[in-house]
Structure 1
């Protein structure tokens, strides 16, 4: 069983690196995503020097019709070489489900996750700013500490915080807080930016609410929205509206810049490290994608 999954991963890597034709048995969607990733590397003039994949079976169950359902994670590592010879390691972890019958692959797909804040087709997406929030606690953003946190926890969950199946914005909030950004607004969930015990603001965990907060906040954690990705620095934030419908549904933190001055990001939910900022290699990507780029600023407001 595991060897079938590992063979699938090897086929994906061979296609990405060597262009070797990949059989599409149950993986038609993967080919489209891998093609975009391959084209993205070529456009950036980045070579994959070495790649490997490690699969871990989480659980398996036998269906009534004899189909074996296998839930597993797979950790991809890509050693990337830029045009000037600089090397860096990109990593991604996927949660997937494979369906096999008599050791033949029927279907293999990435697990789709519902964005945080969505329930029965509705979502809490707006952010309310009260007048009293204009007076926050002054702070200087520690970019290095935020990036160090993003590097330490990109593929694991910090037990000091409540975590979710869709953890992307919660993770980014943790990174910002590690960078000394002060919480405020408790206990109003629609106000400020905070997490306390078993409660939290929408801006802490919901991608669209964080985007609204960063665009509007005038004290404490705040940001300037810029127009281009290359204007960002490590520690800054990118918000993603994959469908281009005005509702932002993912958040990532810049941890480095490539030799073309473009951001490389870390993120959770679909855990990734040193990923190219545009997310063209994501299953969530659509041609209608929109981005919001936020440069985090210091707050000199006094109490």
Structure 2
């Protein structure tokens, strides 16, 4: 690969870090540029601020055709956030695709897809802002669910956010349904029930189950504990697009989540700074119980 292309990728990585560190939307273009003012507003509302950030990454593939070079790369963005007397590190993985023609940058787009890279193997130490494990559930080990989410949030353990959350719930002791049930919540490691890997089906399974893994709906996010689940309908059309696991709570009792697909760790639960967020976004808050 031409040195010029590599240098431009490095420069863009630094640009993204500074944009999310200093809140300067001029460093980004298109839809991503519009996310920065929202991010600043969310941080202000939470009385939080970013005091340090760093970015690392790797190029995952290169395709060349005549004068065109397409480069896929992944960035790991880490931000140290303080909030009154609390602090934590938020991390996000961004899969990107850049296009160069005759060595000159043409486009660089965010790709919301799963990927495998060297970052998938890193094991993180949980950084709970406050001790929110106040309720002891003998049949559901919330610490184990969170521990799994902390270890594998970067990993390519599934092709969907629901698969990742299902793995977390199972790690916490939630029992699977019968593997003969097509729409059941189960996985053999080779195959799995539709509910296991589909965020829309998982949302309705949690609200409808009366035994085994169940979800008790709560009216607000503050009512959730680490190990609980948040479901997202970004378009407000009744189709539940995303699901995340609560891993901690900030100093005001608001959840921080880990998730796949839009791979994130200790992310503020609203997703207002995500490209998929709309004004019609709806949430469902599930307190997880095992009957």
With structure 1 as the length reference, what TM-score do the two structures score? Answer: 0.83
Tell me the SS of whatever aligns to 2:26: coil
Q: Is the 8 A contact 1:16 1:35 kept in 2?
A: no
Q: Which residue in 2 is equivalent to 1:136?
A: none
Q: Is the 8 A contact 1:225 1:292 kept in 2?
A: yes
Unaligned runs of 5+ in 2: 115-137
CA displacement at 1:154 relative to structure 2: 0.5
- Once the two structures are superposed, residues 18-49 of structure 1 have per-residue CA deviations (whole angstroms, 9 ceiling, x without a partner) of 3446245xx31211123322221122111111
- Once the two structures are superposed, residues 233-284 of structure 1 have per-residue CA deviations (whole angstroms, 9 ceiling, x without a partner) of 0000000111110000111000000011100000011211000000011111
Cα 1:19/1:209, change in 2 over 3 Å? closer
Cα 1:175/1:23, change in 2 over 3 Å? closer
Q: Name the CA distance, whole Å, in 2 between partners of 1:153 and 1:21.
A: 31
- Once the two structures are superposed, residues 192-235 of structure 1 have per-residue CA deviations (whole angstroms, 9 ceiling, x without a partner) of 31112432111100000000000000000011011111110000
Q: Which residue in 1 is equivalent to 2:117?
A: none
Counterpart of 2:231 (choices 236, 239, 246) is: 239
Q: Name the CA distance, whole Å, in 1 between partners of 2:76 and 2:106.
A: 22
Root-mean-square deviation over aligned CA pairs? 1.8
Q: Which residue in 1 is equivalent to 2:63?
A: 61
Counterpart of 1:4 (choices 1, 8, 22) is: 8
Q: Which residue in 1 is equivalent to 2:273?
A: 281
2:214 corresponds to 1:222: yes
Q: Is the 8 A contact 2:25 2:36 kept in 1?
A: no
Q: Which residue in 2 is equivalent to 1:126?
A: none
Q: Which residue in 1 is equivalent to 2:40?
A: 38
Q: Which residue in 2 is equivalent to 1:88?
A: 88
With structure 2 as the length reference, what TM-score do the two structures score? Answer: 0.86
Q: Is the 8 A contact 1:141 1:180 kept in 2?
A: yes
Unaligned runs of 5+ in 1: 115-138
User: How many pairs does the alignment contain?
Assistant: 265
CA displacement at 1:73 relative to structure 2: 0.4
Q: Which residue in 1 is equivalent to 2:123?
A: none
Q: Which residue in 1 is equivalent to 2:199?
A: 207
